[in-house]
Amino acid sequence: MIANSLKMRGRFERRMLLLQWLAALLLLLLFIRLADLQWLQHEGLLLQAEQNRINVVPILPTRGEIVDRHGQGLAVNHVSYRLTLIPERSENISAVLTQVQQLMHWPDKRLKRLQKQLAHSRRDRPILLADKLEWNEIAQVAARLHQLPGIDVQAGTHRFYPYGALSSHLIGYLSLARNEDLQHGVLPSEKVGRRGVERTFESTLHGLPGSQYEEVDAHGRRISAFKRVPPQMGKRLQLSLDIGLQQVASEALGERTGAVVVLDVNNGEVLALLSKPGFEPNRFITGLETEQWQSWINDSQHPLINRAIQAVYPPASTFKLLVGLAGLAKQSPLIHQATQCLGYVKLGDRKLRCWKRRGHRRVDLHKALVESCDVYFYELGDQLGMAAISDTARQWGFGETTNIGIGPEATGSIPRTNGGRRWFRGETMITAIGQGTVTASPLQMARFTAAIANGGALLRPHLLAGQTPEITRQIDVLPENINIIRKAMRDVVVSVHGTAHRAMAKLAWTSAGKTGTAQVVTEAQDEDKLPKGMQKKQLKRHRDHAWFVGYAPYEKPRIAFAIFVEHGGHGGSAAAPVAAALVRYLAKQEKVAAKTGQGS
């Protein structure tokens, strides 16, 4: 019996010992857990606890302004108010939106659009309900914020484009962030550059958002704000553009469709880049209506196309400058000779006609450029062959983008001769006068002309004032060959027989240039295809395109320009007067600057 008692006692003691060890282990685990919570996870848990009562509200940065070379505002910021909603702060979003709708007098259509937007948005991010508001429009909501959980009124700025359509293709516009923008950290209520300079320099102009720390109650209502990290404003961008020159170009074009490009021949700065018609970029700020977008899309004049860089056209007789350079480089026999222009060249049983029906009689290279004789260049092109013309064109920058940086940019078309295709004589001869398959943009033509003016430096056009010039290619061309072309361009203006004499001769700055008239209805017999009772001149879409390219001053070139008037008629009468207006403006500005001692 005593043995049994001892045995039971031993079993009890072992159980007690096991229990003690188990209790000690549990206490140790509890101590470790407490230590983990108190020391190792202290900061994280404290932050979680704080986040239960603290909201971080982003503060949008003010976008950097865009100004022209003289400091004139091209994209500026106006003080305004915006209305936002953070969905997670509102228990009944539908009721809150209905109240806001009544206070703001919104139509039901707008309310439905906002509800659809909210359904595809994050609940913790502010959603823009309205922007660009005056205080009298938002005052009723601001006074009732305590009754509208999740709603906030923020003072800020909105983008405004003072020159509207005049600079729309160059400057671009803003619109609300899209899904792809959100993936890069952009807030849903932020505006992002979509075209032109606004898009190209988005990272420079955008700035960095700030934040405001707010204490809220259990319903998400703001109790107080206790910390603010200010946003960083975007950088101010000064362009090389002269908005006054752009205005002169627009006034000279009038209601006609076309493009004007003016470059600094020494550094590639863009002084004017106009495409008409333009569009109103301010319409994008508050959200473009579908009706407005459709009207632009369906407009026969295509106002959304930047004709200066996106559209390409046959360069017509302006291309004769290039063919002349090719002939000089290849020492073609006709370069040192003359030919007879009877008004046409026979090619088999066909006649390739000159624009001057009765002919130019005896012509050499100089006279052929000054009076724009087609027959001479038919024969010169025939001697050179397509390969020589194509190679020279590519050397001078045709068939490639200029890399101006506000694309998309068209490359134009230069015949390729390395594909084994046989080129017929007629195709080569037509190409030599800038017709057929060869096309170029106004910007390409301006860059080409600038390279003639500066001695063969093919510059990359750039938009920022003071930017270091970038030479894309230094063309291997003899100075005497360029001088031959320059002298002919000068006589296009000063000679009484020159095709631009009437428009350009009497200017303060001496100028040089070349006209071009690109045929749309190419042959006389095509007129028979027009509707009965209607002549070619009565149908705008059948009128010729007008070109004029050139530079000034002639003695010491500073600017190069390309003017294109779509269906404008003849280059000398339609495009050259636009160039004359530009030169007059710049000469007058230089004179004013000299009198005031400001320099040019």
Give the residue numbers annotated as catalytic, written as ranges: 317
Q: Kindly state the tokens that stand for 283.
A: 């319409």
Q: How does strand 73-85 pair with strand 66-67? A: antiparallel
CB 167 within 8 A of CB 243: yes
CB 587 within 8 A of CB 597: no
* Amino acid identity at 23: A
Q: Cβ of 456: how many Cβ atoms within 10 Å?
A: 20
Q: Kindly state the tokens that stand for 573.
A: 């009468």
| Residue 19: Cβ-neighbour burial (10 angstroms; 0-12, 13-18, 19+) | exposed
DSSP string computed for 432-494: TTT-TT-BB-HHHHHHHHHHHHHTSEEEPPB-BTTPPP-EEEE----HHHHHHHHHHHHHHHH
CA–CA gap between residue 220 and residue 86 (Å, rounded):
10
CB 239 within 8 A of CB 197: yes
CA–CA gap between residue 336 and residue 347 (Å, rounded):
23
Alpha helices in 515-596 (DSSP H): 576-596
Alpha-carbon separation of residue 300 from 14, 119, 168, 294, 311 (angstroms): 100, 37, 18, 12, 15
Q: How does strand 151-160 pair with strand 73-85? A: antiparallel
Coil vs helix vs strand at 258: strand
| Residue 549: Cβ-neighbour burial (10 angstroms; 0-12, 13-18, 19+) | buried
Q: What is the dihedral of CA 296, 302, 303, 305, to 10 degrees?
A: 120
Q: Which residue, 488, 365, 477, is CA-closest to 432?
A: 365
CA–CA gap between residue 552 and residue 507 (Å, rounded):
10
> What is the 8-class DSSP label of residue 337?
S
- Give 140-206 as a 3 state SS string: HHHCCHHHCCCEEEEEEEEEECCCHHHCHHHHCCEEECCHHHHCCCCCCCCEEECCHHHHHCHHHHH
Question: What is the enclosing helix (H) or strand (E) of 568?
Answer: none
CB 174 within 8 A of CB 284: yes
Q: Which residue, 380, 265, 276, 243, is CA-closest to 323?
A: 380
Q: Which residue, 542, 547, 521, is CA-closest to 372?
A: 547
